[in-house]
Chains A and B, each alone.
Chain A
């Protein structure tokens, strides 16, 4: 039993601005991957995926963007982040080398179900990475998400805001 009743009243806090309370939150970041397309012929075929980004985070130059990327672009991005940032970068969905061997019964890496599996895995990867505070200011991530094409000869740097 308490000797005296402790004062457990809430500490004073400013009432919240109604705009802040009911307006759109400042953490809006949505990344979708869709529309896989296989381009090229024969052995030089590859699949690209559309990456759509919608955000209100100030660090992203474009509030809406749409680009197309292939699996090797993701591998490049993961390599850059592992080297340059202190982030523990999540793994990519598999390379599926066995699917690239000849004499398979199905379409190998151009099989519809495999492409869908890979698409989902890549989408999950991007969402994990793009939301990370230490990865968000990396030039390579912004180039990957919002530039027309990935320039692999770029100079690694940080995005700075004024």
Chain B
């Protein structure tokens, strides 16, 4: 910013096309606060206009060119100087010259590739932003506007359950099962723990969701673990033949999709940790990786139709079937 009270300066304001109707999402900033940003997807065109407003209306603004950039970059916190740009697009808005009055410029980046999801983590940040720059001899005037990108996936073709028998010989044998290995962010983990042999005095059992952020390569790999959730599934001592159900709703927790080796810079993976605690506070655990993915918004079925499906599942009675038929007929009318 110029500190000279004489001379001209300007304010830049970037406005996306369809700003009123476009969806905004909450995204964590580096210092933990949450802000709302416009949401964009891979392949979407990024367009809008830039308002350059002169601060002193009478004076002219000389410049070396006005340009608009769309940037996607990865920033490792321990290496702040080096930003790894994986998307970098430029559009010239004005050739070197002068502005005699405030002006608006249109820009459009067609079908921009946005291969990775925006991510703000403990040691790394991936962000996308628009940057408008008015170049000048001594100092440029620029304005950045961050946007958030979500990567969507479709239902995986193969989604096998996780089923395993683990234990300590002659002391504790359990068989655990989770209904899927790939869960979307609003999914439910349905599973069970079956006790085959219990020669320990167990006091309770819980499931933890652990997020592991891995940065760096080769000998400098660094893992940052964070327990996102602790969910007690059993209180008391089980015996042989006992089956403990698991029903863990993921929508209540702040999680991102699984990210593997993003631009060869970082990974974010999620693990389910099954923990058993005995009377003497000893802990026994088994960790299992799960894949999280982001589902796109689907066409919503009507509430009455959904309620009818649910009641039929749990009652299976003729009245529930009637309710389902009624709801279906109503929907067809609409």
Please list the residues of chain A having a beta carbon within 8 angstroms of any beta carbon in chain B. 1-11, 13-14, 16-17, 20-21, 25-27, 29, 57-59, 127-128, 131-133, 136, 161
Contacts and interface: CB of A to CB of B under 8 A. Distances in A.
B168 A133 contact: yes
Nearest to B251: A2
B28 interface: no
Nearest to B169: A133
A131 B190 contact: no
B241 A20 contact: yes
A4 B239 contact: no
Contact of B306 (A4, A29, A59, A161): A4
B199 to A, nearest CB: 5
A128 B279 CA distance: 9
Given A25-B198, A58-B170, A161-B170, A20 B306 contact: no
Contacts of A127: 280
Contact of B313 (A2, A9, A14): A9
A8 B279 contact: no
Contacts of B295: 3
Given A26-B198, A26-B199, A131-B278, A10 B192 contact: yes
Interface stretch (B1-9, B93-101, B171-179): B171-179
Contact of A1 (B177, B200, B300): B300
25 contacts: A1-B300, A3-B295, A3-B297, A3-B299, A3-B300, A4-B301, A6-B188, A8-B188, A8-B190, A8-B247, A10-B245, A11-B192, A13-B192, A16-B243, A20-B239, A20-B240, A20-B241, A26-B197, A26-B240, A58-B170, A128-B280, A131-B200, A131-B201, A133-B172, A136-B171
A131 B279 contact: yes
B240 A11 contact: no
B186 interface: yes
Contacts of B228: none
B309 A5 contact: yes
Given A13-B192, A14-B194, A128-B280, 12 more contacts: A3-B300, A4-B298, A5-B309, A9-B313, A10-B245, A11-B177, A11-B179, A11-B190, A25-B237, A26-B240, A27-B200, A29-B201
A27 B247 contact: no
Contacts of A57: 199
Interface of A is mostly: loop
B190 A16 contact: no
B242 A10 contact: no
Contacts of B245: 10-11
Nearest to B301: A4
Interface string B143-154: 000000000000
Contacts of B177: 11
A26 B192 contact: no
Closest 5 A-B residue pairs measured CB to CB?
A13-B243, A16-B241, A20-B241, A133-B171, A3-B298
Contacts of A131: 200-201, 278-280
Nearest to B178: A11
Contacts of B251: 2
Interface string B175-213: 001010000001110111010011111100000000000
B37 to A, nearest CB: 22
B22 interface: no
A132 B172 CA distance: 12
Nearest to A17: B241
Nearest to B296: A3
